[in-house]
């Protein structure tokens, strides 16, 4: 009778003539049920994947995890197994779901960075793997705007000529750029400092910054990243600026400096220009909202840099508070400098959100914005 019932209902009949045989039967049955099966070997039992996909098993916040496929180990094709992205624990009668990232979304936080892999465009890495898939790295839409520029294939990589002198209002821009030895890129998109330039003689200090703030009417942001070589103990600093450069228009800079020493009499800490030249990129945007982002310039010079800059005189009278600077510094071949910078930045809550450390190749990705963007309504991802 039991055999007939089992076969008639699509089941299977097991017989035990001794109690000890029940253990083996129960193990066999367990392997055949969704509660114990893991059909795609992703670390999640079929039962939980099906329950989540049906919206019956949620995070503690009430968020539904749908879009999972118990027959696909990587439901969102982000190079992470579903079981690597979420963990299910059963304690007594309670089931707990912990999420590291969303297994049904390749970009959990919607910031443009992929949860499980770097972003590759035209065989070039243009963004790192998301270091924290639950927390956006920068204002939403910025990385996507950069990807559009990369896909266009129109990012300048070479120096062009000096700006031509014209007897009109642009003469102030031209003369200023000539004095500073700035050249246009080969697309004539923006003016840039050269690697060999007279500014390398003097280095930099905080007094220059104060004068700089006065000269730009305070319409400027700056940030510093001091760090120590993890092997030699030598001190270094990365200095960055963005804002209104008066007759040069909207601009941004990243400078590399080393060997701090006190200047006699004035008692000011002076930094020398870094003796190391590194591959660097720099992009500048005006951020009006996640779907309204304006590119001021992009620059990916073939020459290694110690001071990468960009100034676009077509964008005069900017609001520095809306600017977002996006770039990279490639420390390949200098792991001790990379590790020293990483250790210093990740311990400092005031600056750690502005850098992403990519262990694959030792590249540091720079994403810097003013909190005004978040405090003025442009904060979709903070809701």
Note the pTM of the prediction, 2 decimals. 0.86
In tens, the pLDDT along 193-252 reads 999 998 888 889 888 888 777 767 778 899 999 999 999 999 999 999 999 998 899 999
Residue 328 lies in a domain: yes
Least confident of 65-79, 268-282, 369-383: 369-383
Evaluate whether 312 touches 192 at the Cβ level (below 8 Å).
no
Q: Are residues 224 and 361 in the same domain?
A: yes
Residue 107 lies in a domain: no
Distance CA 363, CA 76 (A): 26
Residue 290 lies in a domain: yes
The pLDDT of 317-322, averaged and rounded, is 90
Tally of domains within the chain: 2
What pLDDT is recorded for position 260? Answer: 93
Residue tagged 């989540």 (tokens): 52
Q: Are residues 67 and 141 in the same domain?
A: no
Residue 355 has pLDDT above 60, yes or no: yes
Q: Are residues 234 and 365 in the same domain?
A: yes
Distance CA 367, CA 319 (A): 18
Residue 383 has pLDDT above 60, yes or no: no
The pLDDT of 50-73, averaged and rounded, is 85
The pLDDT of 176-196, averaged and rounded, is 94
**Average pLDDT score over the chain:** 90
What pLDDT is recorded for position 4? Answer: 92
Q: Are residues 266 and 378 in the same domain?
A: yes
Among residues 245, 239, 217, 218, which one has the least CA distance to residue 227?
A: 239
Q: Are residues 147 and 274 in the same domain?
A: yes
Domain boundary among 67, 99, 131: 99
Residue 380 has pLDDT above 60, yes or no: no
Which residue has better confidence, 361 or 79? 79
Owning domain of residue 85 = 2-99
Domain boundary among 99, 131, 163: 99
Q: Are residues 264 and 128 in the same domain?
A: yes
Q: Are residues 93 and 127 in the same domain?
A: no
Q: Are residues 41 and 142 in the same domain?
A: no
Q: Are residues 51 and 137 in the same domain?
A: no
Which residue has better confidence, 35 or 379? 35
Residue 295 has pLDDT above 60, yes or no: yes
* Residues 334, 355, 335: CA angle, nearest 5 degrees: 15
What pLDDT is recorded for position 379? Answer: 47
Residue 114 lies in a domain: no
Pairing of β 280-289 and β 323-330: antiparallel
Q: Are residues 88 and 154 in the same domain?
A: no
Which band of pLDDT confidence, cut at 50, 70 and 90, is reported for residue 264?
confident
Residue 116 lies in a domain: no
Q: Are residues 134 and 94 in the same domain?
A: no
Residue 9 lies in a domain: yes
Residue 269 lies in a domain: yes
Percent of the chain with pLDDT over 90: 66
Evaluate whether 51 touches 20 at the Cβ level (below 8 Å).
no
Q: Are residues 305 and 170 in the same domain?
A: yes
Residue 111 lies in a domain: no
Which band of pLDDT confidence, cut at 50, 70 and 90, is reported for residue 33?
confident
Which band of pLDDT confidence, cut at 50, 70 and 90, is reported for residue 376?
low
């Amino acid at each position: 009778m039991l055999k007939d019932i089992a076969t008639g209902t699509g089941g299977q009949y097991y017989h035990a003539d001794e109690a000890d045989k029940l253990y083996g039967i129960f193990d066999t049955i367990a392997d055949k049920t969704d509660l114990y099966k893991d059909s795609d070997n992703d670390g999640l039992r079929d039962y939980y994947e099906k329950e989540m996909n049906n919206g019956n098993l949620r995070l503690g916040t009430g968020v539904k995890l749908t879009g999972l496929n118990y027959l696909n180990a990587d439901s969102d094709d982000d190079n992470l197994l579903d079981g690597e992205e979420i963990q299910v624990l059963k304690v007594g009668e309670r089931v707990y779901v912990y999420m590291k990232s969303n297994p049904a979304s390749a970009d959990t936080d919607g910031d443009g960075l992929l949860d499980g892999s770097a972003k590759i465009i035209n065989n070039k890495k243009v963004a790192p793997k998301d270091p924290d898939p639950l927390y956006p790295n920068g204002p939403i839409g910025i990385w996507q705007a950069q990807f559009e520029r990369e896909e266009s294939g129109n990012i300048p990589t070479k120096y062009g000529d000096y700006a031509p002198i014209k007897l009109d209002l642009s003469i102030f821009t031209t003369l200023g750029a000539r004095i500073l030895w700035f050249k246009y890129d080969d697309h004539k998109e923006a003016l840039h400092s050269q690697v060999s330039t007279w500014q390398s003689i003097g280095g930099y200090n905080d007094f220059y910054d104060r004068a700089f703030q006065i000269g730009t009417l305070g319409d400027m942001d700056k940030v510093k990243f001091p760090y120590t070589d993890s092997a030699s103990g030598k001190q270094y600093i990365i200095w960055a600026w963005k804002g209104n450069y008066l007759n040069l228009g909207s601009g941004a800079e990243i400078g590399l400096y080393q060997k701090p020493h006190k200047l006699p009499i004035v008692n000011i800490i002076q930094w020398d220009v870094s003796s190391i030249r590194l591959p660097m990129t720099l992009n500048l945007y005006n951020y009006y909202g996640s779907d309204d982002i304006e590119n001021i310039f992009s620059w990916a010079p073939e020459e290694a840099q110690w001071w990468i800059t960009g100034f676009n005189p077509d964008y005069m009278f900017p609001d520095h508070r809306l600017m977002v600077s996006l770039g990279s510094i490639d420390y390949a071949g200098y792991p001790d400098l990379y590790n020293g910078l990483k250790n210093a930045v990740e311990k400092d809550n005031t600056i750690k959100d502005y850098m992403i450390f990519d262990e694959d190749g030792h590249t540091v990705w720079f994403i810097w914005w003013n909190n005004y963007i978040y405090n003025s309504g442009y904060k979709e991802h903070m809701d």
